[in-house]
Amino acid sequence: MKKHLTLTLALLMAIVSFGNIGFAHQKNNPVQQSKMAYISPGIIAQMGEGSIDDPIDAIVWTSVPIDKILERMGQDEGLLSFEPFKSMSCYYVSATGQAIKAIASMPETLRVQENYSVKTPDTKMADTKNAKVNWGLDDLKVRDLWKQGIRGQGVKVGLLDTGVDAKHPELVGKVTKFATFDTSGKIVPDVTEPFDRVGHGTHCAGIIAGGKSGQDGVGVAPDCELIVGSVIPGGNGTLAQVIGGMEWILDPDGDPNTDDAPRVVSMSLGGSIPDEDMVAAADAFERKGVLLVASIGNSGDGSTGSPGNIPSVTSVGAYDRNRQPGGFSSGNKIDWEIEPYHESVIKPDVSAPGVSIYSTYPKGKYAIASGTSMATPHVAAVCALLMSTDKSYSAIDLRMAIKATADDLGSKGWDTRYGIGAINPKAALDYLKKTGKVQVDINLPEGKVANLLIGSSHYRVDKSFALHLPPGKTSIELSSFGFKKVTQDVNIVAGKSSSISYEMSELPKASFKATMYGTDGNPANVGQMRIIGTSFNADSDDNGNFDVEIPADEYEVEFWSIGYAPKTMKIDFSKDPPKKIQLEKADVLVVALQYTTPSQYYSRRFDKYCYRAFDEMGIKYCPVNPYKFDLTSEQMKMFDRVYWFAGENGLYSEDVEVLEDYLREGGKLLISGSNLLYFESYRRDNSFFTDNYGIILKNSPTPLTTMVGVKDDDIGDGLVFSFSGGDGASNQLGADGFVVNKGNGKPFMYYLGPKETSPADLGYTGLKLQTQNFLSIFLAFGFEGINSKEARQMLLSRVEKWFTSFGGVDITFEDEKGNPVYTKAKIDGVGDVETNDEGHLVLSYLPQGKISLKVVPFGFAEQSFTATVTPGKTTRISFGLSNPTSIKISGKVIDSATGTPIKCDFKVVGFETKQYSTDDAGNFSLTLPKYKYSLKVFKKGYMNYWMDIVDNVEGIKIVLDKPKRAVALFQQIAPSWDTRSFAGIAQIYERVARGSGTDFDNIIIPPGNVVDYEDMQQFSKIIWYCGFNDEIGASWWLDNLARYVNDGGSIAIIGQNVPQAISSRPELAKTFGFELLESNTSIYAVKGVKGDPIGDNLIFSLYHPFLRMGLLSVAPSMRPVGSGVSCFDYLGGASAGVRVGTDKQKTLVLPFGFENMYADTKESQDLFKRIVNYLGK
């Protein structure tokens, strides 16, 4: 079954009767390990949910076409189908998870995104009794233009929406071309009759072209033609459908030699599509000369949506009949750092009527609706009116005209509520009538794009074009990297035509040979240079040397090398460029994991938030993006501190490897990012935070947006900030909340909730961790999301102060002769530590001042010492130990029932673990160096005996009991990657066991624990629950199973991956009487074998109740061999359970758990009881 990640890509409309539809804004910076293109979180989730053969729908963005590569892949390699969108630079693919990974590994692939599900909000008819006209017509005074015969005649307007009711009386005969698209973006060939099951598209179409023959209607340009693409048919669709529609509308007949594209296209849709995904698509419209008009969004001021927020798109805000901005109408200032845009823009561009708009609705009806969806077709239709007066007006002409003549409303100049102002059709027409035409001829090579600069406005062109400019002298600049910038002045005369030619001559190449040096005079390390505002970058060698050819011109150039702060300088490569580039050493490494970057090795996407905070504090830092630069732990160790700003996609095993190595070597690390804990739990490829920080996920993603610092904490005290509004990145769609599960991590931030909730109820968001090896700060949110510069600086300054407030000690413990002594110590504020075998202990991070050490040396009495810690220094200390001491242990072991002596084994656990045996009469006696010991006595068929020993213990009587219960339950169900979520499974097992009436010993095996064989040999019967566990299959587990069965123990092993684990040792699988057939049959129904003591008369389905937590449920099948007998079979498949029941052996292997049984509780309890009875008394 194909899966689509549900994402509201809202049509930007709201019917008055039920309020305004939300317009979600997302501008996230995704993360991915190096050497593989970015794979979005939704795709990763799908790869972890189902079978490896399940198809996944995705959109693949590439730098060059990959049709031939995909054709070669085919179904044999997991690629089921693909659809190219050549002008959009992307592909729809349906492929398995393995094929997705293969595609992401191609050097041509930029990123792999979900084929987002697109939904329209429910639309309802509103009361139209008091409104029979579109008030927008009067606001725009378009009737004055109609009187002049200007009605949009001869102009094609494109509409990408839910479709159109072409039979509506006001739209009859106006839809000249129509297409609808399937979920892969293909045209549905059999559907040629226009339709609209939702109404949104019909409403927008009416605003553009509504009007009965010879009569005024609701439309602004009643005589224009409509070319309509139904990209969200029925109110539901996919991103591929939207992209397919955009591709189609640029060439509706599929013949590039005909000019049948509309001159202007209206798109009243948008949403949380990553901005990068729409840049290429919007760029295709600009180069084609088609004006793309799009709604800016319905989420209010401070937000925008794509594609409306892209610089080349004319975006539209909405106002009401009083020319007040709609409360829902979006707008914001956007700092673009995505190729080809390196600029700041304010959106929207213009505004138009968009509140309570009366327009057409399917089945001949009318409706009132509000939204930037309604404002957008007003602007598109005004452009059609203007074009109808002169078909030579270009998209650039129209953009300049409507902006130059807009009525400035609100704040003076360009603002986020109105843009440049409300469009004024008559003023725009007057502007155009007074222009003169200039033909601009350029000789740009095919495939090259030039930047056109007129005044302060930028446009992108790739061929000759015509412009209509106002009278007077105008400067026109054309530039393209690698070509000489050309600027010419042209004198424009109203109503006259002129021409101008640009010879775009290629610049000669200049040889640039230079070396980056540090202030110490030594050559720098591997690095890069990039020319700002272009896509040019070049790598140095390992010693910072460059040897490249660069177009000879003057540029702003940035130099970067690992270990140093970047340096920007202006260089004229046509003259004598410098041979040496001096860089300053950086104190801090700032790792910003981002997929899109104008630079190869680090990204300026964090400039406004993270980097700027360091700049303002005067901290010298080296930025790096490991998505592109293969960062090693050795390079990280060059820095005193590392700040790791992760994106939304979690940590991968490659990241974890370098981070853990850095921490082991005494690093200072801050790590920040939303959903890091969530992805650790979901993907299960590492347990970085669980293992190193002792925290587990509490909530994710939480809808809360405000955080508070813990009172009196040196970092958190007094801090309060939010993720919404302000000058933050506004990219936090939810962050993790955690609780401390183990260790000495101290939370310092938490979510603000109601007074009756504690921080632990909602989850903490900030943790500081001080260990003897490393210092670390964890922020469960993106630092860039903090909504004020002051809060970001305050948090950063406190973290910096905390990092630099520690000192270290280098301690050696020695006896009176100077020999080293292994010692355990308890240190105030640190906890328990221990030396190495040579009595040596280095504590790198201790609070300044005096510390107290209470030590337990091996072979000595407990002693106390003090030491002084100086910040920034490591003090060497040697402590001499006194009073060597030993202890004596002796006693006798007897049977509790008979009182007779027992010869048995015992272990003494202390500095090391040693095993001993009693004599035949159960006696033992030992003299040991003074220490804290644990004594463990064990014998087959008896319960183990434990006791702690801290002093002399002589003549003790140890009594061993035999097991009194029917069976032992070994619960090893909680995998190491998620201990919290599996508590419910444990409850299921215990409920089933107790409900069966069985008396049992319950043995819980936490993740990471090893079960010694003597813990198994206590019991003659064991039922071992394994769940879906990543720890079974370890050598100790397999060794103990083999030994237990050979020693005559009866055991049932239950769990989804048990057959695979046992089969790693073929001889052991043969002992258990089976051979593994398939790791996953994908059959989830089981029937007991008739007459079998375990399976007889049982039949049930298997289901996956924990799929929501990412648990992969498999159904492995087996074939009985040797003495093995099948007790369950999959319906239509092989064995789903094998037992061996001989005089010497009673074993059972079940590849499913009780939590997977979709059956009555009594059936589960009955099965449990059958297993117990089968294993024997």
Question: Whose structure tokens read 């049709």?
Answer: 67
Look at the block and give the residue holding tokens 């007094």.
718
Residue 15: predicted pLDDT: 33
Per the model's pLDDT, the better-predicted residue between 53 and 1125 turns out to be: 1125
What pLDDT is stored for residue 648 in this prediction?
A: 60
Q: Is the pLDDT of residue 448 over 50?
A: yes
Percentage of residues of the chain with pLDDT beyond 90: 54
- The DSSP-derived string for 665-676 is TT-EEEEE-TTH
Active-site residue identified among 200, 203, 468, 1104: 200
Contact (Cβ atoms closer than 8 angstroms) between residue 1146 and residue 984:
no
Cα→Cα distances 816→812, 813, 821, 836, 880, Å: 13, 10, 10, 19, 6
Does residue 29 have a pLDDT over 70?
A: no
Give percent of the chain with pLDDT exceeding 70.
Answer: 89
Among 876, 867, 831, residue whose Cα is nearest residue 849? 867
First to last CA, the chain: 48
Residue 421's alpha-carbon distances to 349, 393, 453, 628, in angstroms, are 8, 22, 22, 42
Catalytic hit among 373, 394, 776, 1113 = 373
Q: pLDDT tens digits, residue range 264-276?
A: 999 998 655 556 6
Stretch(es) of the chain classified as CATH 3.30.70.2980: 14-119
Q: What is the pLDDT of residues 671-707, one digit of tens each?
A: 998 888 887 776 555 688 988 999 988 876 666 778 8
pTM, whole model, 2 decimals?
A: 0.66
Q: Indicate the fold that domain 586-804 takes in CATH.
A: Rossmann fold (3.40.50)
Residue ranges, comma separated, of all CATH 3.40.50.880 domains in the chain are 586-804, 967-1175
Answer for the pair 227, 267: CB distance below 8 angstroms, yes or no. no
CATH 2.60.40.1120 assigned to domain 508-584? The reply is yes
Which position has the token pair 């026109």?
Answer: 476
Report d(CA 209, CA 380) in Å as an integer.
Answer: 10
Q: How far apart are CA 1147 and CA 1079, in angstroms?
A: 21
Which is nearest to 1080 in space by CA: 98, 52, 76?
52
Statement: residue 161 has pLDDT above 70: yes
Task: Give yes or no: 840 in active site.
Answer: no
Which residue spans within 480-563 are E strands per DSSP? 486-492, 497-502, 509-518, 527-531, 537-539, 545-551, 554-561
Has 200 been annotated as catalytic?
yes
Q: Which among 1143, 1147, 1142, 1117 has a CA at the least distance from the CA of 1132?
A: 1117
Distance CA 739, CA 742 (A): 9
Q: What's the burial of 823, exposed, middle or buried (CB within 10 Å: 0-12/13-18/19+)?
A: buried
Strands 967-971 and 1000-1004: parallel
Question: May I ask the CATH class of domain 14-119?
Answer: alpha beta
Per CATH, which fold does 886-960 belong to? Answer: Immunoglobulin-like (2.60.40)
Residue of 161, 165, 196, 397 marked catalytic:
161
Q: What CATH class has 807-880?
A: mainly beta
pLDDT surpasses 60 at 25:
no
Q: What is the pLDDT of residues 215-247, one digit of tens each?
A: 789 999 999 999 999 998 987 788 899 999 999
Q: Which of 555, 569, 578 is nearest to 482 (CA)?
A: 555
Residue 83: per-residue pLDDT? 95
The residue behind tokens 């009780």 is 1154
Taking CA atoms, 1019 is separated from 427, 690, 1005, in Å, by: 93, 33, 16
- The burial of 941, by beta-carbon neighbours within 10 Å (0-12 exposed, 13-18 middle, 19 or more buried), is given as exposed
Which CATH code for domain 967-1175?
Answer: 3.40.50.880
Task: Please state, rounded to an integer, the average pLDDT across all residues of the chain.
Answer: 86
Sheet holding 509-518, edge to edge: 545-551, 509-518, 580-583
Rounded to the nearest 5°, which phi and psi values hold at 161?
Answer: -165, -150
The angle that helices 372-389 and 200-209 make with each other, rounded to 10 degrees, is 30
pLDDT tens string 809-832:
889 999 988 999 998 888 876 778
Which of 649, 673, 595 lies closest to 275, judged by CA?
A: 595
Alpha carbon 950 to its chain's center: 51
What CATH class does 135-431 carry?
alpha beta
948-963 as b/e: b if 16+ CB within 10 A: ebeeebeeeebebeee
Report how far residue 33's alpha carbon sits from residue 46's, in angstroms, rounded to the nearest whole number: 18
Largest Cα–Cα distance of the chain, in whole Å?
Answer: 121
Q: How many other C-beta atoms can be found within 10 angstroms of the C-beta atom of residue 407?
A: 14
pLDDT tier at 1087 (50, 70, 90 boundaries)?
A: very high
User: Annotated catalytic, 981?
Assistant: no
Q: For 472, how many CA atoms within 13 A lie in the half-sphere containing its CB?
A: 4
Q: Is the pLDDT assigned to residue 114 strictly greater than 90?
A: no
Label residue 18 by pLDDT band (50, 70, 90).
Answer: very low
- With a cut of 70, say whether residue 1113 has pLDDT above it: no
Q: Work out whether strand 486-492 and strand 472-479 pair parallel, antiparallel, or are unpaired.
A: antiparallel
Q: In the predicted model, is pLDDT for residue 974 greater than 60?
A: no
pLDDT tens digits, 194-223: 999 999 999 999 999 999 876 789 999 999
Residue 257: count other Cβ atoms within 10 Å of its Cβ.
Answer: 6
Backbone angles phi, psi at 207, to 5 degrees: -65, -35
pLDDT number for residue 824: 86
Beta-bridged to residue 60, according to DSSP, are 91, 112
**pLDDT tens digit string along 633-666?**
889 999 989 999 886 667 777 788 899 999 988 8
Strands (E), 883-942: 886-895, 905-909, 913-917, 923-929, 933-938
Helices (H) then strands (E): counts for the chain:
24, 70
Residue 125: how many CA atoms within 13 Å on its side-chain side?
10
| Dist. CA 798–CA 783, nearest whole Å | 14
